[in-house]
Homo-oligomer: A and B are copies of this chain.
């Protein structure tokens, strides 16, 4: 059975209309007390309120009932890719999270630096938690020593402390498999394991991993503490039909954090440079404005609504919503044909973490009916004309409202 993405791909058409999708990361919340108000409801948001009064509203569940989405699955769902079908593994997410662009067929692996004693016995699985600076120094040595193995380019990146990422780049369109056993024994006092392939397609990758381990140990043999590598979390990179292919959109990503830029690049968006530090709200508006003529779709990512929820700071999370509210007029001044506003998951301050609760979704512009929901809040959105839906419905609804989808069937 074809999923909605396949249907949309067959119906989408290029038009002049422009869509902006703003993702307020983790924007959904919870009241601190029974029947109290959420962060969104507490925030003073005159611009959002005025927008909501003339918009279509609803709620979306990103992955499924009760399922708390990570940032990867949450965004893929918003981009229209069923997160149960398009799975981005840990290794790939680590790579994407530090801004590494991955291509279909590549394999990304999470690594730990370790301390090996006599006979290669693992003494410390985290090599004494080296500083990031030490990590960078070790990575530089490994890059110089292991540029490629057996014709396969090898890329090595610092993540943080003892964590690093290796990317094996597929050559000549021959996809590398990632179904491989761990090198990390998960305990100390034993040797690292030899990686074994669990299917024929992964045999070459297993050989690459084992060769890497040997060459790395040789390279680091004079290091007192950081002298071994352990691997687990191998990810192949699924083929994502691109935004250009599925939606006929020329799409740009405006985000500050590497993870979101990486996810956007996986689906073929151009990642625009953003000036400024951290959430860089003004830099994002500037990037949007300066590139307005060049694209017909913008994914604009706002991070701090999530971070403050993770910190358990209710007041500050509400304040981050208010900061976005101040930004809204500048976005509306560009007159997007359709503006979408949504979260990639909830991050209630009460839970100090992502949660499973549906997030509000708003469509401004396009063609809607009278919508009883008057604010962009969880409780008001419940009354909205868009109802409670899957996250994968967001893109088809934005496309439809922008009149970019042909009729299905005659």
Which of A83, A356, A378 has most B Cβ within 10 Å? A356
Q: Contact partner of A405 among B31, B356, B390, CB < 8 A?
A: B356
Q: Is the beta-carbon distance between A393 and B66 smaller than 8 angstroms?
A: yes
- The answer to whether the Cβ of A355 comes within 8 Å of any Cβ in the partner chain is yes
Contacts of A392 in B (CB 8 A): 65
CA distance A108 to B392 in the complex (A): 35
CA distance A405 to B4 in the complex (A): 27
Q: Contact partner of A409 among B70, B348, B355, B401, CB < 8 A?
A: B70
Q: Is the beta-carbon distance between B389 and A369 smaller than 8 angstroms?
A: no
Contact of A408 with B70 at beta-carbon distance under 8 Å, contacts A84-B7, A367-B348, A393-B65 already known: yes
- The answer to whether the Cβ of A11 comes within 8 Å of any Cβ in the partner chain is yes
Q: Contact partner of A396 among B67, B370, B390, B399, CB < 8 A?
A: B67
CA distance A68 to B404 in the complex (A): 11
Chain B's nearest CB lies how many Å from the CB of A360?
11
Extra 10 A-B pairs, beta carbons < 8 Å, given A63-B408, A70-B408: A1-B82, A4-B65, A7-B67, A38-B369, A65-B396, A66-B400, A67-B405, A357-B369, A369-B378, A382-B385
Chain B's nearest CB lies how many Å from the CB of A257?
13
Contacts of A63 in B (CB 8 A): 7, 408
Contacts of A410 in B (CB 8 A): 70-72, 90, 93, 97
- The answer to whether the Cβ of A197 comes within 8 Å of any Cβ in the partner chain is no
Chain B's nearest CB lies how many Å from the CB of A374?
11
Contacts of A8 in B (CB 8 A): 66-67
- The answer to whether the Cβ of A213 comes within 8 Å of any Cβ in the partner chain is no
CA distance A324 to B401 in the complex (A): 30
Contact with B along A378-410 (1 / 0, CB 8 A): 110011010111101101111111000111111
Contacts of A382 in B (CB 8 A): 372, 383, 385, 387
CA distance A195 to B28 in the complex (A): 56
Which of A34, A38, A59 has most B Cβ within 10 Å? A34
CB-CB nearest in chain B for A406: B68
Chain B's nearest CB lies how many Å from the CB of A239?
15
9 of the cross-chain contacts (CB-CB < 8 Å) are A1-B84, A1-B85, A8-B67, A34-B54, A64-B393, A67-B400, A83-B408, A353-B407, A379-B385
Q: Is the beta-carbon distance between B369 and A30 smaller than 8 angstroms?
A: yes
- Provide the main secondary structure of the chain A interface: loop
Oligomer: number of copies: 2
CA distance A355 to B409 in the complex (A): 12
- The answer to whether the Cβ of A351 comes within 8 Å of any Cβ in the partner chain is yes
CA distance A400 to B346 in the complex (A): 13
Q: Is the beta-carbon distance between B36 and A68 smaller than 8 angstroms?
A: no
Q: Is the beta-carbon distance between A4 and B64 smaller than 8 angstroms?
A: yes
A-B pairs with lowest CB-CB distance, top 3: A66-B396, A65-B393, A70-B409
Contacts of A409 in B (CB 8 A): 69-73, 83, 87-88, 93
CA distance A34 to B369 in the complex (A): 8
CA distance A383 to B372 in the complex (A): 10
CA distance A358 to B387 in the complex (A): 10
Contacts of A97 in B (CB 8 A): 410
Q: Is the beta-carbon distance between A405 and B68 smaller than 8 angstroms?
A: yes
Contacts of A378 in B (CB 8 A): 369, 385
CA distance A35 to B37 in the complex (A): 27
CA distance A336 to B350 in the complex (A): 20
CA distance A63 to B405 in the complex (A): 13
Contacts of A385 in B (CB 8 A): 378-379, 382
Q: Contact partner of A66 among B1, B93, B397, CB < 8 A?
A: B397
